[in-house]
Amino acid sequence: MQRIDHPLPWSPTGTSRHLSVLRYGSGPCKAYIQASLHADELPGMRVAVELRRRLLQLESAGRLTGVIELVPVANPIGLSQLFQAAVQGRFEFASGRNFNRDFVDLAAAVAAHVEGQLGSDGPSNVRVIRRAMAEALDALPAPASELEGMQRLLLRHACDADVVLDLHCDFEAAVHLYSAPQHWPALRPLAARLQAGAVLLAEDSGGSSFDEACAMPWQRLRQRFPEAEIPLACLATTVELGGMADTEAERAVASAEAILAFLAEQGLIAGDWPAAPEHCCEATPFAGAQYALAPHPGVVSFFKQPGERVERGEALFEVIDPLSEQHSIVRAETCGVLYARERMRFARPGLWLAKVAGATPIRQGRLLSD
């Protein structure tokens, strides 16, 4: 195992933070796994503890047939943001920006540089594009903020990976995944191993999140250069490992083993692994997800648990204003799975309280929340 500690390249206060990358194995293929880019989403860190332990064992046994890079703490900035003893890890205090938005568009950065260099040899094209991606990131002007510098470091390590897993969680949730439709057949075994309750698919959900910044440049370059053979060379997904309180050791061990078995299927680990379960949830369009809001403030009581299936018109939660006694019941607008719900129990206008994964598109434009 090799440990790489990158100092974050910009600090407003003269203090120093580091991003630590753990590299295991060697070989022609590479997987990149990062945990808790939203720094208060701790299940990913807990799973990374188990991954670190197991990867050391597998490396010592000579079973790693590729490179696996693990970033157990992907956001040291957010982890240091405390307000009244609680980590505030989703948005940077200095700018208000979401840590998992606005990553560099690598397709735009490299298109001009690879023009005329791409032909009918897919593997050769992959090497040309990956080299151009790394060079483009290295050639960017100095970062304007610590956040920008951290995002570039993360993307620099992931841009040459065949598999990218970005480990997150929601407030209270079933395990669920976000990815592109083109990647769903390859990701189905991972979803089955993790016993995911939902998989949300979108080619571009808006906001340039980390997994899309890794995967979508290949699709965009295919569209830009249709005469060239350009494989979809990065299989990337955001894995939501349940809810924020789901850090139990037994669950973390099971999630880590599911991820390792999936990496073995991708050719990165040798040996015998249990087959993926045959049963798996069906993937649905991200545009089919209902974000249920409260019509007025009040105390919230949920009727459904994360992972439960709901029918259209079925009650999801009620909201009662304790002063006016205004009472509302919010219902499902689609048939599907309640895959996440808010942990707070007081409704505020404009903030979602429950998410339902439905099969029929009901939203347009930007699909990601802030």
Per residue, the 3-state secondary structure of the chain, as one string, reads: CEEEEEECCCCCCCCCCEEEEEEECCCCCEEEEEECCCCCCCHHHHHHHHHHHHHHHHHHCCCECCEEEEECCCCHHHHCCEECCEECCCECCCCCCECCCCCCCHHHHHHHHHCCCCCCCHHHHHHHHHHHHHHHHHCCCCCCCHHHHHHHHHHHHHCCCCEEEEEEEECEECCEEEECHHHHHHHHHHHHHCCCCEEEECCCCCCCCHHHHHHHHHHHHHHHCCCCCCCCCCEEEEEEEEECCCCCHHHHHHHHHHHHHHHHHCCCECCCCCCCCCCCCCEEEHHHEEEEECCCCEEEEECCCCCCEECCCCEEEEEECCCCCCEEEEECCCCEEEEEECCCCEECCCCEEEEEEECCCCCCCCCCCC
pLDDT tens profile 63-116: 999 999 999 999 999 999 999 989 999 999 999 999 999 999 999 999 999 999
Six token digits for residue 184: 């769903």
**Model pTM score:** 0.97
Indicate if 285-358 has the same CATH topology as 2-281: no
Residue-level pLDDT at 369: 87
Average pLDDT over residues 270-298: 97
Q: What is the CATH T-level fold of the domain 285-358, as seen in this structure? A: OB fold (Dihydrolipoamide Acetyltransferase, E2P) (2.40.50)
Considering the segment(s) 2-281 as one domain, its CATH architecture is 3-Layer(aba) Sandwich (3.40)
Domain ranges of the chain: 2-281, 285-358
pLDDT tens profile 211-249: 999 999 999 999 999 999 999 999 999 999 999 999 999
